[in-house]
Each structure stands twice: as structure tokens, then as C-alpha cells.
Amino acid sequence: MPRSESIPRMHKVFLFGLFNKLVFLATAMSLAAFLSFGALSQADPVGHERQSSYALMSPDTKAMQDDPLLNPATFAVLDGQVLWQEVAGKKNQSCASCHGDATVSMKGVAASFPKVNAAGQLLSLTGQINQCRTERQGTTPFAFESKPLLALSAFVANQSKGMPITVERTPANEAALVSGQRLFNQRMGQLNLSCAQCHAERSGQKLAGNPIPQAHPTAYPIYRLEWQAVGSLERRLRNCLVGVRAEPYAFGSAELLELELFLAWRARAMPLESPGVRP
Ligand code: HEC
Ligand code: HEC
């Protein structure tokens, strides 16, 4: 009887998600209260001992990421592989028509994003894919967080698995990088907390019994157990903004892009794990 089984399961998932959010909020509030007292001294861990959130995960979750047969994001990668060959748009071109074999042409590419293009525009990997859709294929962009956009970005990112992030500070990205750093250090939301207060000063400490990671974007797009779905780094960042009771920046906004750029630069030289699994 699949119907009577599926209802309690959905409730369980919903309640689990709700519980997590409440716990996040309650602990974040006590953290906010705590932080508004004493001075903060711990330095940003960048420069020494940077660590992927992978290191903080349970053996089961690690195994899920490591084994493509267990990793639910493998479906997205396989969908992306099919889409890569699919002809679309007025120009009758597939990604492969121009880029050929992705295992060759896309090797290391995801590790270099976000990136400023020749026109001076800062693009995330998904922004670049959509620009190829509109300008090169002559068709409509994929919606943010849509299945095909996540699938193509998982497929392209997977070609850089194990390769180091190559985002460096350049004259072209300097201004956006500085803005991203400013946003990372700026207190926000009703809880009046900055990203840095959790992810630099408190990383490794516990929030609701879970360790606070350093927030290196090494595994995107991810399959997140709490979402029961594949999602982007932007979706993850919006979760943290909601967590501190801030109005989340819109998908594709300059703020999210600048934060992504800053996080990638902060994680430079760390290996990509895409597609990752996160709790
Ligand atoms: C008609 C040719 C054409 C098609 C079709 C096309 N692209 Fe591109 N793509 C380009 C060109 C040219 C560039 C170089 C950057 C630019 O000027 O946009 C590029 C750049 C890229 C990059 C960044 C490469 C780098 O080294 O920074 C990615 C990723 C990418 N394309 C993905 C895709 C995907 C995914 C599709 C299919 C949805 C696609 N492209 C379809 C021509 C194409
Ligand atoms: C109250 C503390 C707190 C604040 C403030 C906060 N986060 Fe987070 N963030 C977390 C926790 C806890 C997790 C991981 C646990 C989870 O899944 O909720 C996380 C996860 C992340 C991750 C995922 C890392 C990975 O390996 O996938 C990124 C990236 C991130 N945060 C970035 C940010 C940014 C950028 C900001 C500021 C806009 C921010 N966070 C604000 C607590 C916080």
C-alpha cells in the first residue's frame, strides 16, 4: 500500500526539517547572545588547516559521497551527460557541438568559477551555462535550481573532481572579491551575526550538536539529506541567511555571486568533491 506508507514518511521528513530549523534558530540565538558579550579572538582558519565539511561528516554520509552507486547526486550527473548531447534552440546546437568531449574540454573548468568573462561580467558556473544557452544556442535560460541546470552543472563540475580550486585574485575580479569579503564579515539578520562569526571564528564548535563547518564550497552542487534533493551553493547560502533571520539575497543576485567568489578564493587550492553529499 504505497499511499498509506508515503504519508507518514513525508511527515517524518517535514518534521525532521522543521526540527532542524528550530534547533538551528534556537542555538543561533543563544550564540548571538553569547557573541554580543566577550571579544572574539579566534582567527579565520584560512591559511592554516583549511578543512572541507567532508571531514566533519559521519562515516555513513562519507560513504554515500564516496561511492557513486550510493551518492544520490549521481543521477544528476548522468542526466547532465545526456543533456550535454541534446540539441536545443534556434541554432540546432548541443553543448557537445561546440565543446566536444566534456571529459577533455571541461576538465578543471568548474574549479575556475566564479570567473569574470571577456565582457567584464562575473559569472558562476550556472550563469555561464545559461549564457551559452541564450547566446550560443539561441534558446531560453534554465530556471534557477531547475533539474536540467543542476544536472548540467553537476556533470560539468564532476569533470573537475579531485582538482584544486584555481580562483585567484586578479585585477578583473578584485572589486567583486572585496565586496564578497565585506559581505562575509558583515553582521546581518535579526540575529545580527556575520558569516565569519560562525564559519571563521566558531568553525569546529558545535551548533545544535552539529559541528559548524568552515564553509568551503568544495562539493557543489550537493545532494543534501535535509533537502532530500540536489541543490546549488546559492540555495545553501540562502539557507544560512534564513537561519540568521535575514532576507535571503535572490538567486543570481550580485551579492550571492560575490559571496560565492569570495568563498571560492578562500578555498583556493582545495580539491573539488563535486557532487558532494551534505547532512
Ligand atoms: C555555439 C557554441 C557553443 C554552445 C552550443 C555552447 N557553448 Fe559553452 N562556450 C562557448 C564559447 C565560445 C565559450 C567561451 C566563453 C564565451 O565567450 O562565452 C563557452 C564557454 C563555456 C564554459 C566555460 C569554459 C571555461 O573554460 O571557462 C562552460 C562551462 C560552457 N561553455 C558550458 C556549456 C554548456 C553546458 C553548454 C550546453 C548547454 C554550452 N556551453 C553550449 C560556446 C558554446
Ligand atoms: C549561526 C551560524 C551560521 C551563520 C551566521 C552562517 N552559517 Fe553557514 N552554516 C552554518 C552551519 C551550522 C552549517 C552546516 C550545518 C547545516 O547543514 O546546517 C552551515 C553551512 C554552510 C555552508 C556549506 C558548507 C559545505 O560544505 O557545503 C556554506 C557554504 C555556508 N554555510 C556559508 C555561509 C555564508 C556565506 C554565511 C553568511 C551569509 C553563513 N554561512 C552564515 C552556520 C552558519
pLDDT at 12 (0 to 100): 45
Whether the CB of 191 sits within 6 Å of ligand 1: no
For 225, the 3-state DSSP assignment is coil
Is residue 30's pLDDT more than 70?
no
Is residue 29's pLDDT more than 80?
no
CA distance 232 to 260: 11
Report which protein residue has its CA nearest ligand 2's atom 15: 212
pTM (whole model) above 0.85: yes
Report which protein residue has its CA nearest ligand 1's atom 13: 132
Is residue 6's pLDDT more than 90?
no
Q: What is the mean pLDDT of the chain?
A: 89
Task: Tell me if residue 240 is catalytic.
Answer: yes
Is residue 197's pLDDT more than 70?
yes
Answer yes or no: are the C-beta atoms of 94 and 154 closer than 8 Å: no
Is residue 122's pLDDT more than 50?
yes
Q: How many angstroms separate the alpha carbon of residue 100 from the centre of ligand 2?
A: 37
∠ CA 74-221-228 to the nearest 5 degrees? 70
Q: Which domains does the chain have, with CATH numbers?
A: 2-68+168-278 (1.10.760.10), 74-158 (1.10.760.10)
Pocket test for ligand 2, best of 197, 240, 263 (most atoms within 8 A of CB): 240
Kindly report, residue by residue over 87-121, the tens digit of the pLDDT: 999 999 999 999 999 999 999 999 999 999 999 99
- Which pLDDT band holds residue 186 (cuts at 50, 70, 90)? very high
Is residue 8's pLDDT more than 50?
no
Is residue 7's pLDDT more than 60?
no
Is residue 14's pLDDT more than 60?
no
Report which protein residue has its CA nearest ligand 1's atom 7: 132
Is residue 194's pLDDT more than 60?
yes
CB atoms within 10 A of CB 14: 10
- Which pLDDT band holds residue 31 (cuts at 50, 70, 90)? low
